[in-house]
């Protein structure tokens, strides 16, 4: 560390470039270390608080994706976990320091073009900041060294292209492009509004799949999300993607990141329309289907396996708490079913079958009833 401090304080361009640079042969752990030194050296404003343990895990997944050791990563963390900012910093770090230029075409997709355009713009502005521009003069021509309010794409002088798109539009045409993306980042692609329409939800999933299949031969994809619902696309991805993170803002009554105090979290919880999302929604006595039969959810722990609605066996990755004041008692055929306001219920309304949040059900709705007191996740 003393040697590193000497280099950082030397202002010697050659030594600094050597310290930060990496290639395809560099181990992911070393890439992550270089990224953390680089980002704190140039962008200290983003690191006013100590990292949470999940930030380092996030960095390792991003590095493995970039190197091609894995081809997909699902990053579902609470809003405010800094996952998007950290990913932007990582992409800027790679564009500046990867001597092999492993990813030459990076595409950003979101449900709103404004978000994906802002993602691209933010990375551009990181790269043209004064200190970066002085050290990495080859990234952009001098005529391009100006800050942009918004931009949907840019190409560096070293041949790296970033572009913005939307998951609301078909990606089929992109498969025919001469240059297929090496890396796709799907950010902020699902929320409560998109989930209100089963057609919109399915369209988004189809377009994301088209984008994934349109990747280059060794391409990879990162999904960034913060809203998990049993009827949504992120839930589908949880089912199919092995490399994933699911991080709540608190666990067992303690903050997952010291950036937030428990008092601040309690205020957020009080003011939020849907604080913890639809994946933390059951009473301890609710029965969950396992290979051995129905088990009370309170008896399950991380590592245990449950049977999903697709009849697949999956490990429990996290166990969450839920407040009683968010629960509803719904009477169905004379029996009481207890779920949360946001838990999706398969419903027939006006002859249309769709998933409806429990809090929006009326006595006129017809619902498909699973065994009372039981749930297939």
Q: How many CB atoms lie within 10 A of CB 111?
A: 20
First to last CA, the chain: 48
- Bridge partners (DSSP) listed for residue 366: 348
Residues 91-116 have a mean pLDDT of 94
Q: How far is CA 318 from the centre of its chain?
A: 16
Percentage of the chain modeled with pLDDT above 70: 74
CB of 223 within 8 A of CB of 75? Answer: yes
pLDDT at residue 370, as a whole number:
44
Closest C-alpha among 19, 169, 164 to residue 96 = 19
For residues 376 and 132, which has the higher predicted lDDT (pLDDT)? Answer: 132
For residues 331 and 159, which has the higher predicted lDDT (pLDDT)? Answer: 159
pLDDT at residue 204, as a whole number:
86
Domain residue spans of the chain: 2-247, 279-375
Provide the mean pLDDT of the chain. 80
For residues 343 and 129, which has the higher predicted lDDT (pLDDT)? Answer: 129
Burial class (CB in 10 A: 0-12, 13-18, 19+), 41: middle
pLDDT band with cut points at 50, 70 and 90 for residue 200: confident
Of 105-114, 256-265, 302-311, the poorest mean pLDDT is in 302-311
pLDDT at residue 224, as a whole number:
93
pLDDT at residue 190, as a whole number:
83
For residues 341 and 24, which has the higher predicted lDDT (pLDDT)? Answer: 24
Q: What is the largest CA-CA distance in the chain?
A: 77
- Give me the DSSP letters along 113-134: HHHHHHHHHHHHHHHTSHHHHH
Digit-coded pLDDT (tens) for 29-65? 999 999 999 999 999 999 988 999 889 999 999 999 9
pLDDT at residue 278, as a whole number:
34
Residue 340 has pLDDT above 70, yes or no: no
Cα-based angle 74, 219, 145 (whole degrees, multiple of 5): 95
Residue 225 has pLDDT above 80, yes or no: yes
SS3 call for 315: strand
For residues 126 and 284, which has the higher predicted lDDT (pLDDT)? Answer: 126
SS3 call for 288: strand
CB of 347 within 8 A of CB of 367? Answer: yes
SS3 call for 80: coil
Q: How many CB atoms lie within 10 A of CB 159?
A: 9
CATH architecture, range 2-247: 3-Layer(aba) Sandwich (3.40)
pLDDT at residue 345, as a whole number:
73
CB of 313 within 8 A of CB of 291? Answer: yes
Separation CA 95–CA 200 (nearest Å): 34
pLDDT at residue 332, as a whole number:
66
pLDDT at residue 279, as a whole number:
31
Closest C-alpha among 17, 22, 220, 244 to residue 103 = 220
Separation CA 229–CA 232 (nearest Å): 5
Residue 164 has pLDDT above 80, yes or no: yes
- List the structure tokens of 323: 């407040």
Closest C-alpha among 41, 79, 83, 39 to residue 62 = 83
The dihedral through the CA atoms of 220, 224, 230, 233 has a sign that is: negative
b/e per residue 85-106 (b: at least 16 CB within 10 A): ebbbbbbbbbbbbbeeebbbbb
Residue 92 has pLDDT above 90, yes or no: yes
Q: Is the pTM value of this prediction over 0.85?
A: no
Helix axes of 53-67 and 83-97: crossing angle, nearest 10 degrees: 40
For residues 346 and 93, which has the higher predicted lDDT (pLDDT)? Answer: 93
The dihedral through the CA atoms of 303, 222, 50, 250 has a sign that is: negative
pLDDT at residue 116, as a whole number:
94
Strands (E), the chain: 72-77, 105-110, 153-155, 161-166, 183-187, 220-225, 244-247, 250-251, 254-255, 287-290, 293-296, 305-307, 313-315, 327-332, 335-340, 344-349, 352-357, 366-367, 374-375
CATH 2.170.16 holds for 279-375? yes
Digit-coded pLDDT (tens) for 248-287? 887 767 788 889 888 988 888 777 766 655 333 344 555 5
Q: How far is CA 367 from CA 308, 311, 330, 344, in A?
A: 20, 21, 11, 11
The helix (H) or strand (E) run that includes residue 152 is none
pLDDT at residue 51, as a whole number:
93
| Listed ranges 39-53, 157-171, 254-268, 337-351; the one with the highest mean pLDDT | 39-53
Percentage of the chain modeled with pLDDT above 90: 36
pLDDT at residue 29, as a whole number:
96
């Amino acid at each position: 560390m003393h040697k590193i401090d000497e280099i950082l304080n030397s202002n010697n361009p050659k030594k600094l470039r050597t310290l930060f640079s990496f290639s395809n042969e560099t181990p992911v752990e070393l890439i992550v270390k270089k990224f953390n030194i680089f980002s704190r050296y140039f962008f200290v404003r983003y690191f006013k608080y100590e990292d949470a343990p999940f930030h380092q895990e996030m960095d390792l997944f991003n590095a493995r994706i970039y190197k091609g050791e894995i081809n997909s990563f699902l990053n579902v963390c609470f809003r405010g976990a800094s996952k998007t900012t950290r990913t932007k910093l990582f992409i800027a770090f790679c564009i500046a320091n990867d001597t092999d230029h492993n990813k030459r075409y990076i595409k950003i997709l979101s449900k709103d073009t404004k978000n994906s355009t802002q993602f691209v713009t933010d990375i551009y502005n990181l790269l043209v900041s004064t200190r970066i521009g002085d050290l990495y003069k080859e990234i952009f021509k001098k005529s391009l060294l100006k800050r942009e309010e918004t931009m949907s794409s840019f190409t560096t002088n070293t041949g790296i292209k970033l572009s913005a798109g939307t998951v609301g539009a078909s990606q089929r045409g992109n498969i025919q492009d001469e240059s297929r993306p090496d890396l796709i980042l799907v950010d902020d692609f699902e929320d409560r509004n998109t989930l209100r329409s089963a057609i919109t939800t399915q369209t988004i999933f189809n377009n994301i799949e088209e984008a994934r299949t349109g990747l280059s031969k060794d391409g990879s994809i990162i999904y960034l999300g913060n809203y998990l619902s049993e009827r949504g696309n992120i839930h589908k991805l949880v089912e199919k993607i092995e490399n994933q993170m699911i991080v709540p803002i608190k666990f067992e009554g303690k903050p997952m990141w010291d950036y937030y105090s428990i008092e601040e979290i309690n205020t957020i919880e009080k003011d939020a329309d849907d604080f913890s999302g639809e994946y933390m929604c059951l009473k301890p006595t609710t029965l969950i289907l396992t290979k051995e039969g129905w088990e009370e959810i309170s008896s399950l722990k991380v590592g245990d396996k449950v049977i999903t609605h697709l009849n697949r066996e999956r490990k429990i990755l996290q166990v969450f708490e839920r407040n009683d004041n968010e629960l509803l008692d719904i009477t169905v055929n004379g029996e009481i079913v207890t779920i949360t306001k946001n838990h999706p219920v398969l419903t027939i309304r006006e002859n249309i079958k769709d998933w409806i949040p429990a809090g929006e059900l009326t006595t006129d709705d017809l619902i498909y009833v699973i065994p009372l007191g039981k749930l297939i996740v």
